[in-house]
Structure 1
Amino acid sequence: MGEASLVFGETEDLKPKITHDVFINHRGVDTKRNIAGLLYDRFVQLDIKAFLDERSMGPGDKLHDSIESAIDKCRVGIVILSPRYCESFFCLHELALMIESGKKIIPIFYNIKPSELDIVEIEGNVPPEKLEGFSRALRQVRCTVGITFDSQNGNWSELISRTVDAVQNSLNNETY
């Protein structure tokens, strides 16, 4: 049977080919110029393949296809939860995709407490079934041990180090 599968081009491993070690999910208006960019740069320095929308895509790339493929083919998701995160359809959609695909999630509660995460008003019309999926994903991430950070009083260097350590530990302990 093994020979037949080779003849027909099938592979034993049906998991998606990993193209990124970590996917950085964030609300740009809150975090792109600080924590998201700093983490991406640190991952690049350490040779950890990171996906950050504006740095990982180029002109002509299809936004949704590129992001969904990156989520599907990543190993770990960093979710930077910020005060305006829950207003974004795209942030919540990416979070729900990561949860649904069983990705290891490392949440960073950036200027927000887990108990404050709630869908209040999302940009655009969102079908009820999507809203329910978003709510489930938020409930799950609220109950996941994460890193809490206050940008006014916190130590930025420590935040980056703790996050990178958490990602490296996840990548090193991952089983396939």
Structure 2
Amino acid sequence: MAATGGSGVSATQYDVFLSFRGPDTRDNFTDCLYQTMVGQGIIAYRDSEELQAGDRIDDLLRAVGESKICVPVLSRGYASSACCLRELAHVMELNESTGKPLVLPIFFDVTPLDVKLRTEVYVEDLEKHERRHGSEIRQRWEAALRKVAEIKGWEVQGKPHNEVIELVMKQVLHKLKVKLRPLDSKLVGVHEQVEAIMELLNVDSGPGVRFIGIYGMGGIGKTALAKIVFNELCLHFDGRWSFIGDIRESSNKNGLVDLQKQLESDIFDSRFMEKLTNTDEWIYSIRRRASSKKVLIVLDDLDKKEQLKKLVGGPDTFGLGSRIIITTRDKQILEEEEGILAYEVKQMDHDRALELFSLHAFNNVTTPENHQTEMA
């Protein structure tokens, strides 16, 4: 299964439709949930911006109807969004009439009682909608809220986000009849290397900050390894994570400010981004805001020491428990910085290289005997 998402809806049937109010959860819980689904090969849909035009609303509701599972992330601001309530009403009506999509609700910072409208949490928002859209629409949306509140889901308040996301993922994978995919099965011979890198990272080792450098020649698989490890670990970091790719190429074209901005936007709420203009201001801002945060960061394809300094500084930049992964062709960058644990990605032996070739050429790791003879 190939993962997809965004505001452009295709005819593809989605495995999961995420319904959520962007300002409440997009930059933390929902983003981490979405990325975890992508890492497991789930085709997930999330809208990338608030809907305005009627034609986009039609496309969105079509995506709901093409989804096997709907996961509404019910937050305190959920009922303030007419788009969210419109989605939910469509979902619940389809579910009642056809049995699809399956609904798996997440009660983010509300309780089922709030969603059943037995408290005042959603009342003011619903009154505003009634004044704008009429009483029939309000009744329809209230009915959808009450119905979804009756479904057993997950309450997030007071629980680590990674634990809730793990429970959600297990249920989603079970319902889709998909096995948990801890490693990318299309990458031949990576299991041992991933395990070695995980051992160096050792996220359960205690509160220290660890820098891990993955080095080796170009095209040998450093980025692929970093992506697998990143997908394995992101659940442990409550949405405080960032994967900055192609740093060598991006910094040569545009400098480091855009990459610094991306890093800070990934780790913190993008609504409160500062307007800064140079690399010194950005690294100071990152240090100031991140010093108490446990983060997971991948810096992919570094080729200069300055890139490391301007993007993450040193071990004192981030909070206890943080893990920073660097990929580079230049081992010297790692050797010049104290405290970086280095891992070399070595060239595949003949048999594994042949398996990888066979996988891509024949979609099977077992190469035909006559082809092996020709290759010998």
TM-score higher than 0.5: yes
Q: Which runs of 5+ in 1 are unaligned?
A: 1-16
Which residue is 2:144 aligned to?
137
Which residue is 1:44 aligned to?
38
* Of 85, 106, 110, the match for 1:112: 110
Alignment of 1:31 with 2:25, yes or no, is yes
For 1:101, what is the secondary structure of its paired residue?
helix
Distance 1:170 1:53 in 2: 23
Which residue is 1:82 aligned to?
75
* Of 88, 98, 115, the match for 2:91: 98
Q: What is the Cα deviation at residue 130 of structure 1?
A: 1.5
Alignment of 1:128 with 2:135, yes or no, is yes
Q: Amino acid of the residue matched to residue 166 of structure 1?
A: Q
For 1:80, what is the secondary structure of its paired residue?
strand
For 1:100, what is the secondary structure of its paired residue?
helix
Q: Please list the CA deviations of residues 81-110 of structure 1 after superposition, one character each: whole Å capped at 9, or x if unmatched.
A: 111111211111101111111121111011
Aligned Cα RMSD in Å? 2.3
8 Å contact from structure 1 (residues 18, 74) kept in 2? no
Distance 2:175 2:133 in 1: 33
Distance 1:37 1:154 in 2: 17
Q: Amino acid of the residue matched to residue 94 of structure 2?
A: S
Greater C-alpha Rg: 2
Q: Please list the CA deviations of residues 37-82 of structure 1 after superposition, one character each: whole Å capped at 9, or x if unmatched.
A: 1111111111100000018x9xx9x421221111010000001011
Q: Amino acid of the residue matched to residue 107 of structure 1?
A: P
Q: What is the Cα deviation at residue 18 of structure 1?
A: 5.6
Which residue is 2:160 aligned to?
155
Distance 1:66 1:46 in 2: 25
Distance 1:49 1:83 in 2: 27
Q: Which runs of 5+ in 2 are unaligned?
A: 1-10, 96-100, 179-376
Distance 1:172 1:129 in 2: 39
- The runs of at least 4 consecutive aligned structure 1 residues that moved more than 3 Å come to none
TM-score, scaled to structure 1: 0.78
How much identity, in percent, do the aligned residues show?
Answer: 27
Distance 1:69 1:171 in 2: 20
